[in-house]
């Protein structure tokens, strides 16, 4: 350990003035609180973005292919071509359609998104397993078509498993203005934690959706990719295979505005809460100035013994840096601990009114090493800059004046 660091550590451990001790503890506490708040806020935004992305991909797919004509002509042939592309884990036909669903207890109905799927895809993701637990999950015992309903939508409609629903969709028959209607039995009431699915989506078998919509083709192909597959490369590959009659898009393009907004919010939150860390450095400046005043006799003695201005400057730079490092590490530890507790016990959860705005019912707090490194570097650099002015003042203290003052 260098002499400057050893002396700074001694000043930090054994302050001789109670006022300096109190101000030092206040500066340390301010830095700890600022860093802790920054860690928790970044963990909140990271966890929210990650959870939202996971649930979006869990209920849908990474890529989508749809025809400019509306229906995917030659669905089987298109699936075969897409499935042959390297990197494609699964390609499945689906039907998306806005619909009106009503029940005996809710005759006015609710507007929902109807999705026709192949139930044997239930093993594709944990979230999809919550929606459709098995290949036969949407088949009623008496032969009627079944439907999977989210818990919030089931509450609005006043239905439970085994109850009947009526689904109404616009007619696709030319010259007909009468809607198509079908009766379904509630076979699944799912809870994914993703409000959009739990309150506004219905899932039925693809064949039943085709019967309801009076069509023989799907209107969309969902594509699941192998892990560690480059999304941009796969988009270009599948676009060349599908042909000019199809449009290929991915989940990022469909949710670009939402995730761009979240990224901006995270940056603004870092800047705003980072101001707490910046303000706390003023306490470090005042602590160092008071320490210089308190230790002026020791500074004079060191200077009279041959210590140059660089050594004295390094002493107080080390003093402020040690305060910054200890406060930063303690703040990161407390922030990480609080984030873990909030996630482990799901202390931040929302009711349906708030979940409708934020799309999720609860938010995990996720701490990443990159975020912690950025927060730690920012706090330590700011703390270091706060030491420069007081340390420069210490070097200007003349030894004779310091000893004469004593």
CB atoms within 10 A of CB 76: 10
As to burial, measured by CB atoms within 10 angstroms (0-12 exposed, 13-18 middle, 19+ buried), residue 158 is exposed
**Six token digits for residue 104:** 């005996």
Single pTM value for the model: 0.79
| 164 close to 104: Cβ distance less than 8 angstroms | yes
Per DSSP, the three-state class of 180 is strand
Which residues neighbour 143 within 8 Å (Cβ) at sequence distance 6 or greater?
Answer: none
Tens-digit pLDDT string for the chain (406 aa): 587 888 888 877 776 667 667 778 888 899 999 999 999 999 999 999 988 888 888 778 899 998 887 778 788 888 889 988 999 988 999 999 999 999 999 999 999 999 999 887 655 577 778 888 777 788 887 778 999 999 999 999 999 999 999 999 987 666 556 789 999 999 999 988 888 889 999 999 999 999 999 888 898 999 989 888 899 899 999 999 888 889 999 988 888 888 888 889 899 999 999 988 888 888 888 888 888 777 777 777 777 777 778 888 888 899 889 989 999 999 999 999 999 999 998 888 877 777 776 777 788 999 999 999 999 999 999 999 989 888 887 777 655 555 555 5
Distance CA 42, CA 36 (A): 10
Give me the half-sphere count of Cα atoms (radius 13 Å) on the Cβ side of residue 254.
14
Question: What is the rounded CA–CA span in Å between residue 257 and residue 398?
Answer: 61
């Amino acid at each position: 350990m260098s002499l400057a660091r050893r002396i700074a550590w001694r000043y930090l451990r054994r302050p001789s003035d109670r006022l300096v001790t109190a101000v030092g503890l206040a500066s340390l506490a301010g830095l700890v609180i600022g860093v802790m708040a920054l860690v928790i806020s970044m963990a909140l935004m990271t966890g929210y973005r990650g959870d939202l992305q996971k649930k979006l991909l869990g209920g849908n797919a990474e890529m989508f292919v749809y025809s400019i004509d509306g229906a995917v002509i030659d669905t089987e042939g298109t699936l075969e071509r897409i499935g042959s592309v390297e990197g494609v884990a699964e390609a499945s036909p689906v039907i998306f359609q806005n619909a009106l669903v009503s029940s005996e207890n809710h005759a006015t109905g609710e507007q929902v998104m109807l999705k026709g799927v192949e139930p044997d895809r239930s093993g594709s993701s944990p979230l999809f397993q919550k929606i459709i637990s098995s290949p036969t999950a949407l088949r009623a015992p008496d032969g009627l078509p079944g439907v999977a309903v989210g818990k919030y939508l089931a509450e609005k409609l006043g239905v439970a498993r085994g109850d009947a629903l009526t689904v109404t969709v616009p007619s696709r028959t030319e010259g007909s203005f009468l809607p198509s209607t079908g009766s379904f039995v509630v076979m699944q009431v799912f809870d994914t934690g993703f409000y959009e699915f739990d309150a506004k989506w219905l899932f039925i078998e693809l064949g039943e959706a085709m019967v309801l919509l009076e069509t023989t083709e799907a209107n969309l192909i969902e594509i699941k990719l192998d892990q560690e597959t480059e999304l941009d490369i796969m988009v270009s590959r599948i676009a060349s295979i599908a042909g000019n009659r199809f449009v290929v898009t991915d989940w990022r393009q469909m949710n670009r505005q939402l995730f761009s907004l979240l990224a901006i919010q995270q940056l603004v939150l870092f800047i705003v809460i980072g101001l707490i860390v910046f303000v706390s450095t003023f306490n470090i400046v005042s602590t160092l100035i008071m320490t210089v005043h308190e230790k002026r006799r020791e500074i004079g003695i060191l200077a009279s013994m041959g210590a140059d201005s660089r050594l004295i400057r390094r002493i107080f730079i080390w003093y402020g840096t040690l305060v910054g490092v200890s406060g930063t590490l303690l703040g990161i530890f407390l922030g990480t601990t609080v984030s873990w507790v909030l996630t482990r016990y799901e202390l931040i959860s929302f009711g349906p009114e708030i979940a409708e705005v934020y799309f999720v019912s609860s938010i995990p707090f996720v701490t990443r090493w990159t975020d912690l490194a950025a927060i730690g570097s920012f706090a330590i650099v700011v703390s270091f800059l706060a030491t420069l002015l007081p340390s420069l003042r210490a070097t200007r203290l003349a030894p004779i004046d310091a000893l004469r003052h004593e």
